[in-house]
Amino acid sequence: MLVSSFSYSLVPLGLSPNGDCPFCTNVITKSGDSPVRNRDSPLSFIMTQQTTLKTIYRLWWPLALTWLMMAVEGPFLAAVIARMGDSATNLAAYGIAYAFGLITEAPVIMLLSASTCLARGRSDYLRLRSFSLCLCAVVTLMLILLLTPTVFTPLTNTLLGLSADIASHVYQALLLLLPWPAAIGIRRFYQGVLIAHHQPGLVAAGTMVRLLVMSTTAFTLWTLDSLAGASLGACALSAGVVAEAVATRWLARRAIALSLRGDDEDIVMHSYAALSRFYLPLAMTPLIGLSIHPVVTFFLGHSYKPLESLAVMPVLYALTFLFRALGLSFPEVAIATLKEGRHNREVIRKFALYLALALGGGLSLIAFTPLNIFWFATLSGLSAELVALAIPPLQIMAFFPALTVAIGYQRAILIDAGTTLPVTLATAIEAFAIFTILTFLVLYSTLPGVTSAALAYLLGRLLALLYLCWPCSKVLRLDSTAVL
């Protein structure tokens, strides 16, 4: 059904379901456009000559669906673990093991953007593939190092203060998560290859395989009752991601063939040193970003109404993430489209504007109408006191999804231009602003912690956006000069 749906989506574009395109020949661009190489990529002719909001939408929605599907994974496994023995201990151990897994996988997260940007020509594809495999080996070694007693014991017992029982569950879960970081890196690399060749429907197909294998593994282990809850969650996660990596590699075989047949006239990265300078700032971005949430949680525990704030924050985060997830899928769409020529910038900008208004407007509809009570009280089951506490921060965060789209657009402009350091600096500015604002509000205001956190998130993101305006404008000016 997935293959037939994807094939049907190509018919209005004049493409056969197997991706053949009779128009993928040398294209003479209009005056002012950069020369476009001869590419065998599906949609190449259309994206270079007839890019419209509709074609960008067709590229975007499968990726948005992918993010929404991944958002289901965490709550599902938590619900399974909660229905097993010693649920409190296992939920805590699973959460800690998952946090460690996120930290170790952080360096490979941006392989998606990197391969979307680079994996078109043969030389760039092969160089990035080798780089990605080495990076996957490094993150696996990081997790193995974490599991050595000389590192794990002081970290869990001394620094985190975990009991011996919880630490034992965390250790077992991390052992089962060993394949996870490398599998994440491999699947993100090949997902980027698919997006680079405008085949996002196959990305969603791979994620469906992941959810199917994850849920089947969790249900089977729950039925057999052979593992503790934390280990069950880790095993299901690893099984799902490994299956997704294998499926994505198989689904990407035609896109890989296109990359290997690609023209090397426009090699972007001429050496591994150049590739490292391009990617290492990107690798730092998730590491910095992942530090924000635990620090915010620490501040919530020391704020006004700490218990209530800690109770409301996950519910608020889950609601805003539903809308932000639709924006998180946008940067790779923008990169893939921008790679077809700078004349596509205007239509990408329009799509970003419309998407930002739609997501911000959708969350605002809940935040500023009686739907907020329906969501928090009826669907989430919060008490009247917690509902009253949750509404103000939701209204503050109402336009945060729009800012997610805006900063995604800026990052796409910079990554497409090969200017990646500002992306990392913007994330560092955002994190520093959040910590500083939270410190001030917790120490000197009587605002509830969750409201202070919402303000800090919003102002931090605005500062990052303002900073990125400068390097983005510089890139746009240089391109305009080059055209002239």
The pLDDT assigned to 159 comes to 80
* Range among 156-165, 207-216, 339-348, 442-451 rated most confident: 207-216
Domain limits of the chain? 55-270, 271-484
Confirm if 98 and 133 have CB atoms less than 8 A apart: no
Mean of pLDDT values over 201-215: 95
Convert the pLDDT of each residue in 337-367 to its tens digit.
988 877 888 899 999 999 999 999 999 999 9
The pLDDT assigned to 187 comes to 95
Convert the pLDDT of each residue in 236-254 to its tens digit.
999 999 999 999 999 999 9
Using alpha carbons, select from 258, 235, 134 the residue that is nearest to residue 186. Answer: 134
For residues 72 and 83, what is the distance between their CA atoms, to the nearest angstrom? Answer: 17
For residues 191 and 208, what is the distance between their CA atoms, to the nearest angstrom? Answer: 13
The pLDDT assigned to 17 comes to 35
Phi and psi at residue 355, to the nearest 5° = -65, -40
